[in-house]
């Protein structure tokens, strides 16, 4: 169809937007490029539409296209009521382009003046798209040929005497369905006899009213799951959309309030906890389904029914509080966005908090310390073992929910939870392979903090702790090692020896957790000197070494580093078996006999970062 036909259908609400569409995001420069392409006769792309039958219309909420966009106070598409006695066409792909055509040919775009106050309405004057009839576009990096520009009324008035600027509102072209009407407009602007102006306007009029440049592929299947699948596929080339983006839009359509604002606000609040987290909308929406006790917690449209969304909305305040307490606990455990290797661990923690109706006092009370320690140990161990929060996540979360619901009324049911995990092939048992994996962890890796926090529970992770090199990394620098000489001037270390030392420098046996200020004060002192200065008493020194699984004597020089590393490695091996031992008697044999996760479910769930 032609551009004018499409805009008339938008005006008549025959072309609409389904709730799964995201909001309008194009900038004025993108609209100008689109109109430049139209003038040149370039294809502006295909569009995907969905024929919505009357019986389907009533199940969802739909939006109209934006006509007057304001970056200050009008960013949202208007909700519209569609009569259920006729079919409509919903746009699945092409919203940004069609909205841009609608704004350019029928409406306005208000963006902030350069240097204007962001919170003042007068900084966002209304602008209409104009075409300069006096000349081509000034030299530009975008390769634009035609001079389109969004202008305010003041802009037009100030250029009235400029012969290089003859501005025609593009909306006049849309308002002239016949050539004769367009000629009258040209005469009114005094350009009726100007061949160049007539050529420009005629070209734009032809592209808007006559050329069938918009090509639509129409999907008529009424299965929303299929429609969503198509929608995700066709949008993967632009801003990638996740199912949670789409389902959040559906939730917005189902809620009485503003689901989008509620979820975004909670995500922002949670991510500002402690040293900061990076929770996504996916995690928070999934948490909502779990905490609301929705049976199937998969990201499927059938789970975002009006009934389930009502349940989610009714309990949102309580769920939000539970999530805030849960994130506070993760922060208390020393975790943050940089060290939390799997966001999904938040969900069972939040469900336990929600099930028991715990508040923030749980995080501090001496009466709950033992329970907090058990929860902390389980959280950290689940983050250490690879693959726990990966595939089969929905099945695991449902199992953990059932265990907490049945056995978590008075305390966190660690043993029962670990038995359920083992049955799902996700045991927390310490194996030789896991030990080797842990010992090879390096400085700066996300799992490293979780391992050290689990191995050394005496560390109060509510305070600021740093992962620190026991033997200073600065003294194991390649350049510094190359510069060291023997008495006769020969290199103290061969190239192979230097490589060996560097390979060990950042590994777990040379790492410890120190309070932030102590770590700063330690700087590049050798371990033995720092220990003597920090703990003058021999008893205090011995206690520190024992708490941190360090050998009886610490190295004074690089020559002693490798012996120290081997001793610390042996100490950590023993501590790993002791501190990370599973709370259940389930063996790896049980895990081997666990039922296989359904392949369709695994593919649908994806894989959490682990």
pLDDT value for 355: 97
More confident of the two residues 225 and 76: 76
Task: Taking each helix axis as running N to C, give the angle between helix 28-39 and helix 95-106, from 0 to 180 degrees, rounded to the nearest 10.
Answer: 80
Q: pLDDT of 387-443, one tens digit each?
A: 899 888 999 999 999 999 999 999 999 999 999 999 999 999 888 888 999 999 899
Q: pLDDT of 11-42, one tens digit each?
A: 999 999 887 666 788 999 999 999 999 999 98
Mean pLDDT highest for which of 230-234, 290-294, 348-352, 570-574? Answer: 348-352
Question: Buried (b) or exposed (e) across 245-276, using 16+ Cβ within 10 A?
Answer: bbbbbbbbbbbeeebbebbeebbeebbebbee
Provide the residue count of the chain.
610
pLDDT value for 518: 56
CB 47 within 8 A of CB 2: no
Q: What is the CA radius of gyration of the chain?
A: 32
| Cα gap 134→156, rounded to integer Å | 14
| Cα gap 197→191, rounded to integer Å | 6
pLDDT value for 228: 66
| Cα gap 5→278, rounded to integer Å | 45
pLDDT value for 579: 82
Give how far the C-alpha of residue 597 lies from the chain's centroid of Cα atoms, to the nearest Å: 26
Percent of the chain with pLDDT over 90: 42
- Residue 530, Cβ neighbours under 10 Å: how many? 19
pLDDT value for 18: 80
pTM over 0.75? The answer is no
pLDDT value for 285: 85
pLDDT value for 345: 96
Question: Is residue 498 scored above 70 in pLDDT?
Answer: yes
CB 319 within 8 A of CB 354: yes
Segment holding 151, helix H or strand E? strand 148-151
pLDDT value for 235: 58
Question: Is residue 271 scored above 90 in pLDDT?
Answer: yes
| Cα gap 173→39, rounded to integer Å | 13
DSSP string, 245-311: HHHHHHHHHH-SS-HHHHHHHHHHHHHTSTT-----HHHHHHHHHHHTT-S--SS-GGGS-HHHHHH
Question: Is residue 596 scored above 50 in pLDDT?
Answer: no
CB 11 within 8 A of CB 177: no
Which band of pLDDT confidence, cut at 50, 70 and 90, is reported for residue 592? very low
Segment holding 132, helix H or strand E? strand 126-132
User: Both tokens of residue 190?
Assistant: 């005094």
Mean pLDDT of the chain: 85
Segment holding 80, helix H or strand E? strand 79-80
| Cα gap 429→583, rounded to integer Å | 9
Quick one: average pLDDT of 265-273?
A: 91
Q: pLDDT of 105-157, one tens digit each?
A: 999 999 999 888 878 899 999 999 999 998 888 888 778 999 999 999 999 99
Give how far the C-alpha of residue 476 lies from the chain's centroid of Cα atoms, to the nearest Å: 38
């Amino acid at each position: 169809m032609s551009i004018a036909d499409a805009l008339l259908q938008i005006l008549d609400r025959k072309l609409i937007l389904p709730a799964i569409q995201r909001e309008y995001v194009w900038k004025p420069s993108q609209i100008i490029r689109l109109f430049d392409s139209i003038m040149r006769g370039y294809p502006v792309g295909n569009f995907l539409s969905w024929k919505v039958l009357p019986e389907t219309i009533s199940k969802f909420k739909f939006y109209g296209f934006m006509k007057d966009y304001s970056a200050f106070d009008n960013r949202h598409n208007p909700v519209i009521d569609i009569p259920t006695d006729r079919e409509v066409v919903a746009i699945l792909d092409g919203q940004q382009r069609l909205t841009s055509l609608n704004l350019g040919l029928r409406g306005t775009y208000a963006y902030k003046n350069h240097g204007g106050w962001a919170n003042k309405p007068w900084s966002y004057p209304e602008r209409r798209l104009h075409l300069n009839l006096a000349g081509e576009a000034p030299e530009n990096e975008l390769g634009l040929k035609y001079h389109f520009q969004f202008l305010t009324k003041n802009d037009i008035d100030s250029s009235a005497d400029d012969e290089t600027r003859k501005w025609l509102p593009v909306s006049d072209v849309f308002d002239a369905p016949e050539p004769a009407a367009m000629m009258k407009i040209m005469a009114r602007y005094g350009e009726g006899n100007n061949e160049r102006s007539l050529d420009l306007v005629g070209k734009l009029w032809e592209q808007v009213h006559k050329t069938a440049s918009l090509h639509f592929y129409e999907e008529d299947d009424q299965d929303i799951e299929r429609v969503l699948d198509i929608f995700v596929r066709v949008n993967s080339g632009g801003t990638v959309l996740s199912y949670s983006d789409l389902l959040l839009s559906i939730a917005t359509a189902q809620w009485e309030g503003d689901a989008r604002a509620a979820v975004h606000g909670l995500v922002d609040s949670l991510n500002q906890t402690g040293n900061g987290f990076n929770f996504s909308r996916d995690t928070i929406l999934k948490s909502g389904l779990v905490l609301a006790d929705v049976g199937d917690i998969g990201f499927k449209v059938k789970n975002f029914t009006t009934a389930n969304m009502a349940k989610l909305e009714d309990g949102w305040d309580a769920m939000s509080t539970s999530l805030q307490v849960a994130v506070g606990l993760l922060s208390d455990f020393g975790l943050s966005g940089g060290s939390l290797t799997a966001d999904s661990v938040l969900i069972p923690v939040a469900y336990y908090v929600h099930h028991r109706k715990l508040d923030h006092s749980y995080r501090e009370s001496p009466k709950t310390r033992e329970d907090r320690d058990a929860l902390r140990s389980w959280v950290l161990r689940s983050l250490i073992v690879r693959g726990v929060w990966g595939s089969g996540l929905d099945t695991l979360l449902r199992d953990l929910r059932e265990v907490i619901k049945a056995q978590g009324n008075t305390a966190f049911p660690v043993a029962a939870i670990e038995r359920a995990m083992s049955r799902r092939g996700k045991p927390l048992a310490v194996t030789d392979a896991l030990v080797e994996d842990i010992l090879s962890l390096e400085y700066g890796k996300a799992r490293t903090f979780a391992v050290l926090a689990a191995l050394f529970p005496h560390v109060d992770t509510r305070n600021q702790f740093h992962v620190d090199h026991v033997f200073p990394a600065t003294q194991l620098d390649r350049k510094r090692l190359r510069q060291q000489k023997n008495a006769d001037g020969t290199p103290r270390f061969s190239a192979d020896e230097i490589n060996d030392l560097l390979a060990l420098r950042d590994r777990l046996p040379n790492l410890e957790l120190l309070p932030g200020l102590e770590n700063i004060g330690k700087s590049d002192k050798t371990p033995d000197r720092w220990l003597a200065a920090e703990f003058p008493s021999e008893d205090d020194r011995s206690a520190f070494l024992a708490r941190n699984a360090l050998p009886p004597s610490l190295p004074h020089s690089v020559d002693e580093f490798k012996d120290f590393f081997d001793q610390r490695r042996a100490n950590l091996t023993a501590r790993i078996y002791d501190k990370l031992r599973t709370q259940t008697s389930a063996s790896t044999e049980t895990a081997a006999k666990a039922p296989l996760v359904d392949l369709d479910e695994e593919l649908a769930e994806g894989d959490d970062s682990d």
